[in-house]
Structure 1
Amino acid sequence: MPARHRPRASKIRELERAIAFYTGCLDLEITERLASFAFLSRGDRHHDLALQALGPNAPAPGAGVGLYLVAFEVEDEAALRSIYRRFPDDVGVSSVDHGISKAPYFSDPDGNGVEVYVDTRSGTGERWLGVSQPFDPEELGDDTSVAN
């Protein structure tokens, strides 16, 4: 379950499809719905993610300048693996070990970039050294610490 993050907003095409994706994959819960909007939370604030449906013909996110992704931090490697296991088979995932964090990167059903990560630094002074290596999220965590 996401541990820390700030509220974000995403424009999407179909509200029901996006709600199913974010509640199913990231364990967020609906706190409020109004017309073409839905607000999702992990429970400690009104919303961590706001969704605004633009309709089925809305253009996809562009490849140019703009927001690259939204990121959700989880508390440990077991939680990261548990979330990874919730991804539908048709979600393309690129899992990267940055040396200071491990993260699967993927897109939501509307092409918005999403990252779920765990901070793996052992101290506050560690900095990213440009490392980006693939890793297998199935090899993370202790099977006994997270219910799947």
Structure 2
Amino acid sequence: MSGFHQKPNTYVSELTLKVQDLKRSIDFYQSIVGFQVLEETSTKVRFTADGTRAILTIEQPEDILPKQERTTGLYHFAILLPSRKELGKFIQHLAQMAFQIQGAANHEISEAIYFADPDGNGIEVYSDTPSSTWRWQNGLIEAENKSLDFMEVVAEGKGETWTGLSPETILGHIHLHVADMDKTEEFYCRGLGFEVVIRMANHALFFSTGNYHHHIGTNIWNGLGAPKPLDNSVGLTHFTIIFPDEETRIQVAANIQKLGYEVTNFTTTYPSGNKIELGV
């Protein structure tokens, strides 16, 4: 596991999505993404990369509606591979499956590809560049949006056969559509204890702990004041943030309440409708 995703850092560890067709999504997340099924019921499936730790849960409510556009909620969740070699093997796998991606980039801090599941839930698969090469200025990290050199990355895979996600794969970060930047910064910094590490003018903020390039991304690309999606529409149900110890979790819950947000059984909901579980 990445050192940025363990104590003493705070990070995102798991998320739950609503989908329209559970069987269709199971096939996608196994055959295309490479997850293993950890637990399965008639309405819910938990996926893992290492056979022990859940990364993604999908569920199919009875009255599920298609994904609503121009709302708050999930922009994408990001699967972090342990090496550039694994990213190369994954890209080669997608090519062999003739699977169409939506985009790719070399951000200097990471190399990534982007696509969506059958319901339109955004997915990023990426590997980090060495943190020693990341450039910081005035407490903010410098990220680029260069073209990804597919041939060079695939060559890192050395022609090895892809057999699914590496057991070292984790949830690297989550990126959310929100309705308000000022409230978002207050909530994630003063409430949850993250630090701003990337500012994109007045339309996107990225947060982390421990000098990671980001554990959480947020944007208003669906519009300032974008509405919440319906509770029964395809999309994000909730995600889990892991704190280093119980003392920190209790303090964070108190901080959130001081800002005027409710916390029930260590679960809170940011005004944009993004539900968050506070874990240890």
Q: Which ranges of structure 2 fall in alignment gaps of 5 or more residues?
A: 6-11, 163-280
**Identity over aligned residues, as a percent?**
24
After TM superposition, the structure 1 stretch with the greater mean CA deviation from structure 2, 23-32 or 84-93, is 84-93
What is the CA–CA distance in structure 2 between the aligned matches of 1:55 and 1:81, rounded to whole Å? Answer: 39
Rg larger in structure: 2
More helix by share: 2
Is 1:123–2:154 an aligned residue pair? no
Runs of 4+ that moved beyond 4 A: 2-5
What's the CA shift for 1:124?
7.5
- Structure 2 equivalent of residue 98 of structure 1: 107
Tell me the amino acid that sits aligned with residue 13 of structure 2.
Answer: R
Q: TM-score, normalised by structure 1?
A: 0.83
Q: TM-score, normalised by structure 2?
A: 0.47
Is 1:110–2:119 an aligned residue pair? yes
Aligned residues: 147
Contact 2:22 2:58 in 1 (8 A): yes
Q: 1:12 aligns with which of 3, 19, 33?
A: 19
What's the CA shift for 1:142?
2.5
Kindly report which structure 2 residues correspond to 1:28-67, keeping only aligned pairs within 5 A, or say none. Answer: 28-54=35-61, 58-67=65-74
Q: Which ranges of structure 1 fall in alignment gaps of 5 or more residues?
A: none
What is the CA–CA distance in structure 1 between the aligned matches of 2:133 and 2:105, rounded to whole Å? Answer: 21
Tell me the amino acid that sits aligned with residue 130 of structure 2.
Answer: R
| RMSD after superposition | 2.7
After TM superposition, the structure 1 stretch with the greater mean CA deviation from structure 2, 81-90 or 104-113, is 81-90
- Structure 1 equivalent of residue 147 of structure 2: 134
After TM superposition, the structure 1 stretch with the greater mean CA deviation from structure 2, 127-136 or 94-103, is 127-136
